[in-house]
Chains A and B, each alone.
Chain A
């Protein structure tokens, strides 16, 4: 086939510069996720267990929030559970044995608001225990989370800090001091 679209055919990216050959691991991983999603459809009880209580957190830009929460706070997305449609995305993020759900803010989305819609006001805070709050704190700060309570050892036996995400939701990250001491080999 040869016609006036030939210049366009020639700028097909892999013709201009061949991409790296397909990584079979990428396809293997995606195949595994597909099969696990299918398995969940068939046998819901073998699938992910959502806890009996978990929050849904609303964002103006839930895609940016998803990216931020995984990058800055190290949450892991249940990728096969993500639901995308033109009016918004729903994603589930795993944190230890807990789960948070994130979605879009707005009247048509359960009438939920983002702090970004409320001049920064929050009506709740999500508390998260992590394995190593020192590393978690350093990573969050480096990735642009706004630290609003410094990392401190508290009288109730936790080391904790608090941070705001991109739209101002407040997150409390802690680790039991006994765990901190164990982790640091008695030096904590």
Chain B
């Protein structure tokens, strides 16, 4: 590995600010995709620039023991999203409509190929409600849940990104899933199921 780690790049940029550029080059496309998912392309374009500008300004407080900077950048981007809740709400309601059409229309395209057909049908019925249930979550739970389910960040990475303990990541995810279940299947059998940490560890390890 000849490439310096993100931490090494950030450390070098403390003395030579212009050497910060590789942080953008390595992660900007991923962060832009994340922001487009959350608020749509119009707001995302400027936000991705803001994310890296803030990152540059705060590089002095980066934890140099962490070689990979992406969770840190996700955290900065997530904080910036707080000022764009309206764009996010619009994006989610568009998503809900889109999910409604996808459920009614072209199922093969969107579903994971390995899914069993029965399970797929069951899941598709719930798409529009899942999408609108996300919109109803408290922002902290939504941020945590979407970093986990859409961005595939581990519990540890989410904890680093949001500056919260891993236990809080776990409890936010639990609460969010409970709300999602309640929102998607009111009165359904699964909404009665208690969600305990033990049960969760078994089902979705970090």
Per the CB 8 Å criterion, the residue count for chain A at the interface is: 39
Q: Is the CB of B24 within 8 A of A31?
A: yes
Q: Min CB distance, B153 to chain A, in Å?
A: 12
One of B53, B83, B111, B177 near A5 (C-beta < 8 A): B177
Instruction: Please tell me if A49 contacts chain B, counting CB pairs below 8 Å.
Output: no
Interface size class of B (residues with CB under 8 A): 35 or more
From B3-11, B67-75, B124-132, B156-164, the one touching the partner chain is: B124-132
Given contacts A7-B130, A79-B49, contact A16 B123 (CB under 8 A): no
Instruction: Please tell me if A33 contacts chain B, counting CB pairs below 8 Å.
Output: yes
Q: Min CB distance, B34 to chain A, in Å?
A: 10
State the CA gap A137–B25 with chains docked (Å): 42
Q: Is the CB of B45 within 8 A of A26?
A: yes
Interface bits A3-42 vs B (CB < 8 Å: 1, else 0): 1111111111111110110100011011101110111011
State the CA gap A12–B147 with chains docked (Å): 11
Q: Is the CB of A16 within 8 A of B99?
A: yes
Which residue of chain B has the shortest Cβ distance to A86 in the bound complex?
A: B82
Instruction: Please tell me if B14 contacts chain A, counting CB pairs below 8 Å.
Output: no
Q: Which of A49-89 contact B (CB under 8 A)?
A: 63, 79-80, 82, 84, 86, 89
State the CA gap A63–B86 with chains docked (Å): 12
Q: Is the CB of A41 within 8 A of B17?
A: yes
Which residue of chain B has the shortest Cβ distance to A31 in the bound complex?
A: B24
Instruction: Please tell me if A142 contacts chain B, counting CB pairs below 8 Å.
Output: no
Instruction: Please tell me if A1 contacts chain B, counting CB pairs below 8 Å.
Output: yes
Q: Is the CB of B145 within 8 A of A8?
A: yes
One of B17, B46, B99, B126 near A38 (C-beta < 8 A): B17
Q: Which of B41-88 contact A (CB under 8 A)?
A: 41, 45-46, 48-50, 52-53, 56, 80, 82-83
Which residue of chain B has the shortest Cβ distance to A12 in the bound complex?
A: B150
Which residues of chain B come closer than 8 Å to A38, judged between CB atoms?
17-18, 20, 56
Q: Is the CB of B80 within 8 A of A8?
A: no
Q: Min CB distance, A88 to chain B, in Å?
A: 10
State the CA gap A139–B25 with chains docked (Å): 38
State the CA gap A19–B45 with chains docked (Å): 14
State the CA gap A10–B130 with chains docked (Å): 10
Instruction: Please tell me if B37 contacts chain A, counting CB pairs below 8 Å.
Output: yes
State the CA gap A1–B148 with chains docked (Å): 11
Which residue of chain A has the shortest Cβ distance to B120 in the bound complex?
A: A10
Which residue of chain A has the shortest Cβ distance to B82 in the bound complex?
A: A86
Q: Which of A67-123 contact B (CB under 8 A)?
A: 79-80, 82, 84, 86, 89
Residue positions of A touching B, CB distance < 8 A: 1, 3-17, 19-20, 22, 26-27, 29-31, 33-35, 37-39, 41-42, 63, 79-80, 82, 84, 86, 89
Q: A5-B149, A79-B49 are in contact. List 8 more A-B contacts (CB 8 A).
A: A8-B149, A10-B123, A13-B36, A14-B33, A16-B99, A16-B127, A30-B24, A86-B82
